[in-house]
């Protein structure tokens, strides 16, 4: 019996007051969402729950309120303005806890997701995804959008035909990352970090120019492991250079472990039928106690501003919400529990052509703390590394002033003394 659905049949499964759960990034099923929008007047109070939406849509922009609405767990270019305009709800969360949060707060949920074509055993793969939806496999119904461009991958992201309501087909290339230009500041920051990474370390590396610069400088390392929420193209480079084999990992030895992947077609080709990569739910990948099992764990993430206590505001810009917490806090805690763990939070020391310091006495009004003063380990700018863990407030302030842009250091010293942080 086939479970292939026609467009009209999809709406038979979507009921009023229902919650629809969508994977992030390339797990977003464009055709299924098109069908929902085309038939939105049939629906009443249906909510779409998603982290990091790829495509701007009418329901995201509030044009289908009362029928179809969007609830976000991490803002993106598709949802940021809609949130600012009051058309999207944003739910605070730690990435590793998103599955239990959704399980607790949703009613009669269905997962809509992209998958690779079914194999001869009746299994689909969620491809570049495990994220928060893999934990729902076998627990709630799925409707799949089968796309031959989605790589077939391994791990806990496979689903049998008996576990789905049905599927439609929609063959279209996956969205690719636009790789940022690496600046001189990015390279300098990366140099400081790469000096601290040793053979056999296990890495969590985020997305962006600085992480890309770091990975480009690690090709001479050996026996590196990967345990990261997101896989990017730079990891392919490290595998091909012989730097990554995972043989010194404490868990999943020899395997690259991730919750999702986002990059270029080169990355997606690398992932296809590659048994060295395992996609696991983010509830596992980002769990601090799982992270801590890797005794030489290194975490590299970015922030937008830091105060002299070491608090990192990574989800707001100038006090305005821009993204959300993601997994930064998860890995900050995880490396603290790791026997030899090290965490690095990176940023340029200034913005707007060196006119605004990103290191200040206090965070900007309205800014949200993502990595707390208790979990922060190292802060890195183009002027060096401030080593904060285990340091006093006065020692932290002095270390952070030392990696601020030189033109702001005198004022920072004055502010720190006036406020009683240093003598």
Task: Give the pLDDT confidence of 241-266 residue by residue, as tens digits.
Answer: 999 999 999 999 999 999 999 999 99
**pLDDT at 178 exceeding the cut of 80:** yes
Token pair, residue 36, equals 């929902």
- For residue 12, report the phi and psi dihedrals to the nearest 5 degrees: -65, -20
Task: Give the pLDDT confidence of 272-296 residue by residue, as tens digits.
Answer: 999 999 999 999 999 999 999 999 9
**pLDDT at 306 exceeding the cut of 90:** yes
Task: Give the pLDDT confidence of 67-106 residue by residue, as tens digits.
Answer: 999 999 999 999 999 999 999 999 999 999 999 999 999 9
Quote the CA–CA distance of 349 and 404 in Å, as a whole number: 6
CB neighbours of 257 closer than 8 A, spacing ≥ 6? 226, 227, 228, 251, 278, 280, 285
Task: Give the pLDDT confidence of 15-41 residue by residue, as tens digits.
Answer: 999 999 999 999 999 999 999 999 999
Mean pLDDT over residues 364-371, rounded?
A: 96
Quote the CA–CA distance of 89 and 111 in Å, as a whole number: 19
- What pLDDT, on the 0 to 100 scale, is given for residue 1? 52
Handedness of CA 362, 368, 373, 379 (dihedral sign): negative
Q: State the average pLDDT for the chain.
A: 97
Quote the CA–CA distance of 105 and 71 in Å, as a whole number: 12
- Which residues does residue 316 pair with via DSSP β-bridges, in sequence order? 321
Q: What is the 3-state secondary structure (H, E, C) of 151-183?
A: CCCEECCEEEHHHEEEEEECCCCCCCCCCCCCC
Question: 5: burial class by Cβ within 10 Å (0-12, 13-18, 19+)?
Answer: buried
SS3 192: helix
Question: Which positions are catalytic?
Answer: 229
Distance, CA of 128 to chain centre: 13
Token pair, residue 6, equals 């026609």
Residue 378: other Cβ atoms inside 10 A: 23
- What pLDDT, on the 0 to 100 scale, is given for residue 250? 96
- What pLDDT, on the 0 to 100 scale, is given for residue 179? 87
Name the percent of the chain lying above pLDDT 70: 100
Q: What is the DSSP string of 318-348?
A: TTEE-S--TTHHHHHHHHHHSTT-EEEEE--
């Amino acid at each position: 019996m086939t479970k292939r659905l026609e467009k009209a049949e999809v709406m038979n499964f979507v009921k009023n007051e229902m919650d629809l759960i969508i994977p992030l990034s390339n797990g977003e099923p464009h055709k299924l969402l098109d069908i929902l929008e085309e038939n939105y007047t049939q629906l009443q109070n249906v909510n779409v729950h998603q982290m990091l939406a790829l495509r701007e849509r009418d329901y995201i922009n509030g044009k289908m309120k009362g029928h179809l609405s969007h609830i976000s767990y991490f803002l993106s270019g598709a949802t940021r303005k809609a949130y600012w305009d009051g058309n999207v709800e944003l739910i605070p969360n730690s990435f590793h806890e998103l599955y239990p949060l959704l399980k607790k707060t949703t009613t009669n949920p269905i997962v809509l997701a992209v998958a690779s074509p079914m194999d001869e055993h009746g299994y689909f793969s969620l491809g570049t995804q495990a994220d928060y939806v893999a934990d729902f496999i076998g627990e709630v119904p799925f409707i799949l959008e089968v796309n031959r461009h989605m790589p077939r991958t391994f791990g806990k992201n496979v689903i049998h035909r008996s576990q789905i309501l049905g599927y439609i087909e929609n063959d279209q290339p996956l969205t690719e990352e636009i790789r940022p230009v690496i600046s001189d500041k990015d390279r300098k920051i990366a140099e400081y970090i790469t000096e601290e990474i040793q053979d056999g370390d296990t890495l969590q590396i985020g997305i962006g120019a600085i992480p890309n610069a770091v990975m480009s400088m690690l090709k001479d390392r050996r026996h590196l492991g990967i345990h990261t929420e997101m896989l990017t193209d730079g990891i392919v480079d490290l595998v091909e250079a012989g730097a990554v084999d995972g043989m010194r990992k404490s868990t999943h030895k020899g395997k690259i472990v991730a919750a999702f992947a986002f990059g270029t077609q080169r990355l997606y080709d690398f992932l296809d039928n590659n048994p060295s990569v395992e996609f696991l739910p983010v509830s596992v990948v980002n769990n601090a106690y799982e992270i801590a099992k890797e005794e030489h764990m290194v975490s590299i993430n970015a922030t937008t501003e830091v105060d002299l206590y070491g608090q990192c505001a990574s989800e707001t810009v100038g006090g305005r919400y821009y993204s959300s917490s993601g997994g930064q806090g998860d890995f900050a805690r995880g490396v603290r529990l790791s026997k030899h763990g090290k965490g690095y939070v990176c940023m340029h020391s200034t913005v707007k052509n060196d006119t605004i310091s990103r290191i200040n006495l206090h965070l900007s009004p309205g800014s949200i703390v993502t990595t707390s003063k208790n979990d922060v380990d190292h802060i890195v700018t183009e002027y060096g590394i401030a080593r904060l863990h285990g340091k006093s407030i006065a020692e932290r302030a002095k270390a952070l002033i030392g990696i601020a842009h030189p033109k702001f250091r005198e004022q920072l010293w004055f502010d720190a003394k006036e406020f009683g942080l240093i003598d």
